[in-house]
Amino acid sequence: MKFIISSSKNAYYNIASEEYLLNQSDDIFYLYQNAPAVIVGINQNTLAEVNYDYIRNNDIKVVRRLSGGGAVYHDLGNINFCFIIRNGKKNDNGFEKYTKPIIDVLKTLGVEAKLEGRNDLTIDGKKFSGNAKYICGDDLLQHGTILFNSKLEDIVSILNVDPDKFKDKAVKSVKSRVTNVSDYLKEPITIDMFINQIVNHLKLLYPEAREYRFSFKEKNEILKLQLNRYFQWDWNYGKTVLYNYAKSIRTKGGTIEVKMIVNKGYIKYLDFFGDFFTKKDIDDFKKIFIDIPHDYNNINDILTQYPATDFFENINNDDILSIIF
């Protein structure tokens, strides 16, 4: 087994690294931290999982991973661990085997944790770790989070989405009460000390393991994968099921409501309703958005060319952006 501790804090790079390592030949334990980012499951509607205004205003990355499960928030108070096991599919019988090392490390620190439900690790009934897996041929990738001293208030702000805005069949995240490991430690330690505890325990479990660092060539391969997949809007947002979107706001020009049908990230139907007044036929305005990505930057560019004030009385571009996201 190879032990790799990532030197990068870039979520695009680290999620790309998992896919790169999955396509290699060794058993691997990969550990990393990310600067603030939301990581969504392969079967999720990204916009329905995140508070889009918050992540845009705070420059928070959004990355879709290969595995299923729900959306999770990463920051530098969170640790992410990943096991990649060759021929692991034949011995795959749940999440217990590759979460037990984390439970055992916590036990040595006087913290009683356990695997609850399908894939969560908890302390006193509160979740501190969500886990997911991906099968590729006969190989198994299982990864999880560890909230050590994350900003829990950010999790609420980022993953708290109005459920009435989206109607779809995508997998929804299950909301849980969350907690930090650091709150339960009898003696305070730093996150780096905790990481060392995990690594040392894994070395005892896998005495044949060796520490490994990516070569220059491997880093370039990961960067290509990052650029071509994980940095792309089509992967992170566009790869989603058909959904209906609806939202209503009050503006200086009156109440305006939008209804949209979006398929694979592209707007296929859009209509406005409300008690607003128009300057000219807004059917021409609606047509502008058809087959355009449901993406803030694209729509902002369109509104620069076709300002809302040309069509509505006292309704501006910011109002339209606010209602569409």
DSSP 3-state of 174: coil
**Amino acid at site 20:** Y
Q: Is 229 in the same domain as 284? A: no
Q: Is 214 in the same domain as 163? A: yes
Number of C-beta neighbours around residue 119 at 10 A: 21
Q: Is 175 in the same domain as 280? A: no
| Residue that finishes a domain, picked among 238, 273, 307 | 238
Q: Is 59 in the same domain as 126? A: yes
The per-residue pLDDT for 175 is 63
Distance CA 199, CA 204 (A): 9
User: The domain containing residue 288 runs over which residues?
Assistant: 243-324
**pLDDT tens-digit map of 180-202:** 999 999 999 999 999 999 999 99
**Among the residues of the chain, which ranges form H helices?**
11-22, 46-49, 52-57, 96-108, 152-159, 191-205, 216-225, 233, 283-287, 296-305, 317-324
Candidates 258, 72, 245, 252; CA nearest to 154 is 72
Q: Is 38 in the same domain as 118? A: yes
Q: Is 128 in the same domain as 155? A: yes
Q: Is 222 in the same domain as 274? A: no
| Residue that finishes a domain, picked among 238, 256, 278 | 238
The per-residue pLDDT for 127 is 95
Distance CA 80, CA 13 (A): 13
Q: Is 190 in the same domain as 296? A: no
**pLDDT tens-digit map of 33-88:** 999 999 999 989 999 899 998 999 999 999 999 999 999 999 999 999 999 999 99
**In 111-185, where do the E strands start and end?**
114-116, 120-123, 126-136, 139-147, 166-168
Q: Is 199 in the same domain as 230? A: yes
The per-residue pLDDT for 160 is 75
Write the CATH number for 252: 3.30.390.50
**pLDDT tens-digit map of 129-184:** 999 999 999 999 999 999 999 999 999 889 877 777 778 767 667 666 899 999 99
Q: In the structure, what pLDDT confidence band is assigned to residue 22 with cuts at 50, 70 and 90? A: very high
**pLDDT tens-digit map of 217-263:** 999 999 999 999 999 999 999 988 799 999 999 999 999 999 999 99
Write the CATH number for 150: 3.30.930.10
- The answer to whether the beta carbons of residues 116 and 66 sit under 8 Å apart is no
The per-residue pLDDT for 91 is 81
| Residue that finishes a domain, picked among 238, 273, 303 | 238
Q: Is 89 in the same domain as 41? A: yes
Distance CA 110, CA 105 (A): 9
Residue whose structure tokens are 């300002």: 307
State whether the Cα torsion 3-8-9-14 is positive or negative.
negative
Residue whose structure tokens are 């420059």: 59
Q: Is 223 in the same domain as 269? A: no
**pLDDT tens-digit map of 256-310:** 999 999 999 999 999 999 999 999 999 999 999 999 999 999 999 999 999 999 9
Report the number of distinct structural domains present in the chain.
Answer: 2
Q: Is 185 in the same domain as 299? A: no
**pLDDT tens-digit map of 75-127:** 999 999 999 999 998 888 889 999 999 999 999 999 999 999 889 999 999 99
